[in-house]
Structure 1
Amino acid sequence: MAMAVASSTMEVDQDLPGFRFHPTEEELLGFYLSRVALGKKLHFDIIGTLNIYRHDPWDLPGMAKIGEREWYFFVPRDRKAGSGGH
């Protein structure tokens, strides 16, 4: 999955007083993931794209765009060539 972030996309300052990012599962799937899957851009650069399987778990918090105890990433799917079987 490739996701380009346009220059008009706003970055959210993680030190912004009072700002908390606590989406529900429905919001994560119904808004954030569905927009990315449809190729639509997000207006805020809150969730980054990262193949989390290529990093050690203790390195992930430093790679997140926002969050102290919860971190969110879009994880690209590996595309594998088909073998032609059923």
Structure 2
Amino acid sequence: MSSSMSMVEARLPPGFRFHPRDHELVLDYLCHKLSGGGGRGGGGGGVDMVDVDLNKCEPWELPDAACVGGREWYFFSRHDRKYATGQRTNRATHTGYWKATGKDRVITGDGAAAVVGMRKTLVFYLGRAPRGTKTEWVMHEFRVEGRPPRSVHRQLAAPHDGPLPSLLEVYHL
């Protein structure tokens, strides 16, 4: 087994590669998490995603438990608010910050026109805005959009502690 193979890959069947489509990440993993099903995909896909506090973790310190493929990490993270009374997300870490780039992308279901989620692309910068130095770390943030499936809708009606989690895919170019 090569040193770049993660513990997650070691638990998967031979030949298995984790390359889900955007709508699969939203519907099979994020919605499953929101409905109380934990971090494993609803289809029993064999990949168990962990929760990570992105504000307390630099990209190069992401846990091995979130690594799939040596240069890709998949995990859940709750949004930290920049201001107690505001809606802006705090994306700062100790050494830098995640900066959104481009427009959010619409995610539709497989073969359906219905919007199931959104994907935001972010790049990690060392230092503080606006003078940070761009790095080769990229993150895709997936969130549920529109009316979630019924099982998730019931769960959202129940009280929860803080903002809903997003599913994050981080990779190093």
- TM-score, structure 2 as length reference: 0.34
Would the alpha carbon gap of residues 49 and 56 (structure 1) be closer, same or farther in structure 2, given more than 3 Å must change?
Answer: same
Match of residue 20, structure 2, among 5, 13, 23: 23
Deviation at 1:78, TM superposition (A): 4.0
From 30, 34, 51, the equivalent of 1:33 is: 30
Contact kept in structure 1, 2:8 and 2:67, CA below 8 Å: no
Structure-1-length-normalised TM-score: 0.62
Larger % of strand: which?
2
Higher helix share: 1
SS at match of 2:69: coil
Give distance in 1, aligned partners of 2:49 and 2:30. Answer: 10
Which residues in structure 2 correspond to 1:33-52 (within 5 Å)? Answer: 33-41=30-38, 42=40, 43=44, 44-52=46-54
1: distance between equivalents of 2:56 and 2:65?
12
Which residue does 1:77 correspond to in 2? 79
C-alpha change, 1:13 and 1:57, in structure 2 (3 Å) is closer
Q: Which runs of 5+ in 1 are unaligned?
A: 1-11
Cα distance, 1:63 vs. partner? 4.8
Larger displacement relative to structure 2 (54-63 or 28-37): 54-63
Q: Which consecutive residues of structure 2, in runs of 5 or more, have no partner in the other structure?
A: 1-6, 87-173
The structure number with the bigger radius of gyration is 2
Runs of 4+ in 1 over 3 A off after TM superposition: 77-83
In terms of mean alpha carbon deviation, does 32-41 or 61-70 score higher? 61-70
Higher relative contact order (CA 8 A, sep 6+): 1
Q: What's the CA shift for 1:62?
A: 3.2
Percent of aligned pairs with the same residue? 38
